[in-house]
Structures are given as C-alpha cells and as structure tokens.
A and B are shown apart, each in its own frame.
Chain A
Amino acid sequence: MSTRSYLFNCCAKARFIDKPLRPRRAETGRQALTWYYLRISGALMVALVLVHLFLMHYAAAPSTTTSAFVTARWSATGWRAFDGVLLLLALTHGLAGAHGMVRDAVRGPRARAVVDAASIIVGAAFAGLGVAAALSGSPHRLADPPAAYGWVPGVLIGSLVGVATVTYAAIAAVIVVLGWRLARGEPIGRWSYPGQWAFALNRAAGAGILAFLLVHVIDVALFPFAPALYDRTVAAYAMPYLAPMEVGLVAAVLYHALDGLRLMVLEALDRRATALGTPSFVALLVLTATLSLPALAVLLGWRP
C-alpha cells in the first residue's frame, strides 16, 4: 500500500470518530461514581473497622456486649460519634457495592429503577435507625420491654440463623461441587485461577457483612427504648449454631478490608506490580487467618 492510499484510509476511518459504531449507552458515569465511592469510603473506614473489631471481638466476646456495656460506652460522646460515622460509612459502602452488583446483572430500565429505589429506601431507613440509636446515647427506659415489640428479637435471631444456614449451605455446596468435579477429572471452570477466588471471596464477604450489618442496626436500634430486648438478641450470639459465624464475620471483615487495600496498592503500583497479584492474594489469606485466630480464642473462652 502506498503512503498516499494508507493516509487516505486513515482519513476514511477518522470520520467514524464523530459517529460511534454502536449507540451510546444512556447511562454513563454510574460505575465510575461507585468505583470512587467504594475506594474512598473503604479507605476512610479501615481504621475505624479495625478498632471496632478489636473492641467487640478481641477484647470481649460479642455476646457479652450487653446493654450495660453499650451504656458505659455511649456515655462518651466520642464513641457515639465514632459508631455513627462507622455505621454511615459501612452502610453506604455495603449498599453501594450491593447496588452495583445487582444493577449490573439486571436488564431493563424498570428493573433497574426498582433496584435504585430499593437501595435508597433501605439505606435511608437503616441509616436513620442506626444514627438515631447512636444519638440517643443511654436507654430511656430500663424497665420491662414494651410487649408490642417482644417478637423483634425472635425475628432478628431467625434472620441471623437464616444467614448462617445460607452460608453453611453455600460452603458445603462449593466443596461438594468442586470435589465431585475434581474426583471425576473434570475442569473446575474459572476456579483454577487465584484471581477468581480473590474476587469471589471479596464479594461473598461483602454480601455477608452487609447482611449482618442490617440485622445489627435493628438490634442496636432496640437499645435506647428496650434494652432488655437488645440483651436477648445479643445473648443469641453465643448459640453454638451461630458461633462459627462470629469467627467467620471477623475473617470476612478482615479479608474484605485488606483485599480492598491490596487492590488499591496494586492499582497505584500498576506496572511495578504486574507479578504481585497471586503472591499478594496468598499473603492476604495467611494474614486474614492469622488475625482471625484471637477472635476464635475469645470465642472458646480465652480472655486477654
């Protein structure tokens, strides 16, 4: 091809630049907004989350964080502000992630509008409940709980048992399906890639933390006006059926937080980190397991 005809060809192609080859998507910028928000809120939240984990899962068993514990803690305005900020960051971070996941998967403007509306309503309702509880500080009434709300702890405990059952069933299903395939010499799909595990664990951990957070916001909201009901709910954390979930929750929070930091560091290092994807994932798993051990020890009765 002569230089002249090559350049003519380029001119012809250049005309396409003003005329996109496929229709422009109507929605632009939502994924970018979510991407930035998840990173900013995650980075702001990491230190707060680690302090919260230490106090609630390392320094004490979660089932001992009764209304007396919360009353003492929330007598300080600083702790109320701490918990309020952590709640808002965690809730919006979790809902932004879940909203993005669901919205990317559903098709059609009507279904997407439903997902948008549900996210806003759930976010506003739970943020309102949690912040109102944190602002109230101490219980207004320490007498018997209002009879009309006696069913609430049962629903909350049932929800936790439901989350635990889904989690145990999912883990069992993964083990059975992958084990069956490996035993038959069949490939295990994308699960042979370390990156696939890192991605799936991040999403599963995020979904699990959000499910627990929503239940936790409601039980904390009980505290100001019905501390006895709050105590009944918190006492259920010691149920043997839920005990593995306590350690699982710590591991999920640690994994999700540290994996978020890992991705941000790899992103920042870009070409200097091209070979660090798998080694950093292995290091993350080791670190998560190691840092989760104290929570297991506390659950088994060890006290610092």
Chain B
Amino acid sequence: MIVRVRRFDPAGRARRGRWQDYRVEPRPMMSVLDALFWILEHDDPTLAFRYSCRAGMCGSCAMVINGQEGLACARRLAQLRSPVSVEPLRSLPVVKDLLVDLRPFFEKYRAVDPFYVGDEASLLGPAPEPAAVPSGDPSRTVVDRQIDCISCGACYSACPVVGLVPDFLGPAALNRAYALAADTRDRAGAERRRRVAEDGGVYACHGVGNCVTVCPVGVNPLLSIQLLRKGAIHR
C-alpha cells in the first residue's frame, strides 16, 4: 500500500510542500495513524504528526485523508483507495509535515466564551444541588448531539468561508456557542447571541455544509448556526 504524505518544513526546503510516497506493509485493521507510525519506525523518523488517544475521542490526529478531513486513527487503510494521500488540516499554519498550529482555531473558539455560566445568585449562597436538565427535557434534543464536539478542527479545515473570510469564527466555535446558549441553565445566552451576530459570526456562514459532511462524531455545526441565527432574529 502506498501512503503519499504532503511534507512541509517551513524552516527548510519543503516550505511550499511536496508529496512523498512511502510503501507501507498493510496489516489487518491498520488505521492511517498506524501507517504513519509504521513510516516513522521503519522508513522516515523525521515525519511529524500529532496524536493522543488513538481511539477517535480526542481529535488530535485530524488531517486530510484522500482529500477529505477525518481522524487518522478512525480511518481504516483497507477502506481507502490507494495511494492514500495524507495532508495537514487546511486554513491553519503548518508547523511541520502533518502538524498544524491550532492557535487560530482556539483563539476563535475562546471568542465565544466556551464555558458554562451558572446562576450567580445560587453561586453566592449556600451550595445548592448541581443544576441538571432531566434526560427527557425537550431542550436536550439538539443540544445533546452538539455537545459531542471534540474540537478536532476538521470542520474548520473543510469550511471554504474560513479560508475566504479571515474574521469568520468557524463552525466549531459557533457550534459551541449554540450548545451553551441553548442550555436552559446557562446565564450568558444573550451575550453569546449578541457576539455571534457580529461580523465574522453566524451571518458570515454561507450554508456550504462541508462541516456536516466531515465531522467525525456526527455533530451538525450548520444546524447550530441556523438555530443561532433564528435566535438572533427573535431576540
């Protein structure tokens, strides 16, 4: 099996990127991440990539595989057309080879205050019971799915608007804003809605839908953006 890796070395000769082919000995159930480790151990110890959990849960190994964003640990080599091309995520600066600098992604993520804000009165008084939303509550129908985001950056990479509009917050940050704003316990919903209605927020989205296609955990950021826009309309 041929694995074709897009090599980048911003400090060296491969500043603009070049393809390099590696012949990998396939094994049963071998993932793309396993193939990259095989290359690292048997062929080229200079290959750089990021990984962590190896189980499709952390999102660290997101990259572009055969032209489509996905998690290297979750894509089986046997299910891919040979040669298997592997590139770093798009719209992010490359540190080396498949390793990208995720700071622009997380800076935009931070812009929506991606944390839960509880009721201030209850926080100042004696410790109450933890706030809970019952499992059958209708507000859970959409929110439950949208909180599964693992912040891998695949949607950010697949979105053409991120590449065209430098201020655009991107699908992941807006999805996070919706998941929190739609939480009935959250007390910062109005502030979040106001921020995402600014330039670079939900009105910069063109409904392309690549974010929905590539999400490795089935989140639908486009739906979050649409629902936030309706919230912005009705506020």
Residues of A within 8 A of B (CB): 3-4, 6-8, 10-11, 13-14, 16-17, 20-22, 24-25, 27-32, 34-35, 101, 104-105, 107, 185-196, 198-200, 263, 266-267, 270-271, 274, 277-278
Contact = CB atoms under 8 A, between A and B. Distances in A.
The 9 closest A-B pairs by CB, nearest first: A187-B67, A195-B209, A31-B203, A104-B165, A195-B208, A35-B203, A28-B198, A277-B209, A32-B203
A121 to B, nearest CB: 23
Given A10-B117, A190-B160, A31 B123 contact: no
Given A29-B199, A195-B208, A270-B226, A10 B213 contact: no
A195 B203 contact: no
B116 A10 contact: yes
Given A17-B113, A193-B68, 6 more contacts: A13-B113, A17-B188, A17-B191, A189-B67, A270-B223, A274-B220
Contacts of A101: 164
A199 to B, nearest CB: 4
Interface in B196-234: 197-201, 203-204, 206-210, 212-214, 220, 223, 226-227, 229-230, 232
A195 B165 CA distance: 17
B133 to A, nearest CB: 16
Contact of A263 (B115, B164, B207, B220): B207
A28 B197 CA distance: 8
30 contacts: A3-B127, A7-B118, A7-B122, A11-B123, A11-B124, A17-B191, A21-B113, A22-B110, A28-B197, A28-B198, A29-B197, A29-B198, A32-B197, A32-B199, A104-B166, A104-B167, A185-B4, A186-B19, A186-B85, A190-B90, A190-B160, A190-B210, A193-B68, A193-B214, A195-B209, A196-B210, A198-B208, A198-B209, A263-B207, A270-B230
Contact of A104 (B68, B164, B212): B164
Given A10-B118, A105-B164, A270-B230, A22 B200 contact: no
Contact of A21 (B110, B187, B209, B227): B110
B142 interface: yes
Taking chain A's interface residues, is the majority helix, strand, or loop, or is none over half, making it mixed?
helix
Contact of B158 (A3, A193, A274): A193
B113 to A, nearest CB: 6
Contacts of B142: 271
Nearest to B126: A4
Contacts of B166: 104, 107
B158 to A, nearest CB: 6
A25 B199 contact: yes
Contacts of B111: 20-22
Contacts of B207: 263, 266-267
Question: Which of A104, A105, A195, A199 has the most C-beta atoms of chain B within 10 angstroms of its own C-beta?
Answer: A195
A298 to B, nearest CB: 33
Interface string B79-116: 00001010100100000000000000001001101011
A16 B127 contact: no
B28 interface: no
Nearest to B120: A14
A271 B182 CA distance: 14
B83 A185 contact: yes
A201 to B, nearest CB: 11
Contact of B118 (A4, A14, A195, A196): A14
